Structure 1
Amino acid sequence: MTDTDDSAGLCAGRVVAVTGAGRGLGRAHALAFAAEGAKVVVNDLGVGLDGAPAADSPAARVVEEIRASGGRAVAHGGDIATPEGAASLVAAAVDTFGRLDTLVNNAGFLRDRMLVNLAEDDWDAVMRVHLKGHFLPLQHAAAYWRAETKAGRTPTARVVNTSSGAGLLGSVGQGNYSAAKAGILGLTLVAAAEMKRYGVQVNAIAPAARTRMTESTFAETMAAPGEGAFDAMAPENVSPLVVWLGSAAAGAEVTGRVFEVEAGRITVMEGWRAGPTIDKGERWTPADAGEAARELLGRAAAPGVVYGA
């Protein structure tokens, strides 16, 4: 990482909070923001892959990396899926660096099971960290930015949420994770519409990279390449787009969007759009509704394949 200061870089002087930033994608994002001049709040609860408490917290190590390269950062170990933890995340940014400009919601873990074996606790835990863990930091950041706007200091604020291909298409054995990640997409669209008046732009990414959450599932396809080759599955490949979305360079028109990002590929996802339609002008019978549905399906584009199907 190059030396960082407030005088250079795409995010020079901005204050950025990244959740789940101790490892994997979050760590890569935090380092990339710092390399572009941002002051970074590095949040990580330090839990294991399944959300259980781990022996150490990696947030401090990421802060040390940033500081060793000339950047400014502070660790935050609060649970952002609680109101107190989410509020303290925003407070850490404001108290340490004077404000908050960008929120990157990234924290998450997996508890994969087929639906018939999925325990209620596993459903609740994944929903809590992914969906509630996006909502609460977003809500507290939004309240801060709304107050700034009312005080005559309209921010140039950015939020980057983290969904997944599982949220776009579904993934076998990940009913809880897929539902949570799909919910994040809906939350992104609503937040973008509601928060635009306060100078806040909200977008989401659906990344693919080699992390603790993917290494067992994609062990062969996500293996690191030989020396000198492009590491297509490195989490650092995702971060440049996240940094741009979190910067002032992403203009006012860039909001309410979802991007798939993997290796060297960026794709704008176009979401649910109205396809073929038939309007009878009166109530259908079940048999006629079925015939109409068959006709419409014959004219419609085929859906994407569920991961693992």
Structure 2
Amino acid sequence: MSTVAVVQTYPVIGDTPATVVKAEKLIREAGAHGAEVAVFPEAFIGGYPKGSRFDTVVGTRTPLGREEYREYANGAITLGGPELETLAAAAAEAGVFVVLGIIERFGDTLYCTAVLIDPQAGVVGNHRKLMPTASERLIWGFGDGSTLDTAESSAGRVGTAICWENYMPMLRQAMYAQGVDLYCTPTVDDRAVWQSTMTHIALEGRTFVLSACQALPKSAYPEGTEFPPQVGNAEWVIRGGSVIIDPLGTVLAGPVYEEETILYAEVSQEARTRGHFDLDVTGHYGRPDVFELHVNTRPQAGTVFDG
């Protein structure tokens, strides 16, 4: 048996260095409780700008919106930057494999990314969100198949699908086909119906699902911050709802709403094997003679200098 953790938390608004310090503390806390794997929410480093309009309507951008974007982009980090070096050191000290949602800056584009941090080897993988949802496409680029990364941890093989990517059946199948034991879903989806999605994935993939959602209070923002009426409730921008579910759909921890917390649960390969007795969608319950999935894992570069 191995202990895993899901960290329900929120960033320090507008302050990436302070958020990194907060992440260090939470990694050490998870390690002190025996966790071998800890999953953080989507866009924890860099922030999820829920409710932000960037002063934009279809067909028009404004100087005000461009300045809002510049401020947001300043909070992003790079894969080779000092922030991840610091967090890799914390993971090594705590002995924890970390799945961390970040806003990644690559060149002049931002990506919503989940990084995989091994306690011995450091950053061993990253997954850029393939399909930003709705208005997210205004501020984030599209990932490609080269970052459908998985990695081995002491608790099993780890893979990630970010937020509404979990509604993409072929992406889920690509994760299952890589033998994911711990299906990690960094998210900001705090709807009650999200729990149905997580249960379905656990049952479909006969895998452990670790869903980490931000729990972001309005009190975390500077005094006087105004929120659109459709965002959150009276006190919360994002309510949480983090959960851990086993391969037969049993909820092991959570969901928890409207508080910061760390959820813990025990996982085992034996539970996965028992689940696959009657269902393996990439094996005996598959029909490759009828259905075949091709996954393009080549990096997609728009400019190639040859010679």
| TM-score, normalised relative to structure 2 | 0.37
| TM-score, normalised relative to structure 1 | 0.37
The higher relative CO (CA closer than 8 Å, separation ≥ 6) is in 2
Identify the structure with the greater strand proportion: 2
Identify the structure with the greater helix proportion: 1
Structure label with greater radius of gyration: 1
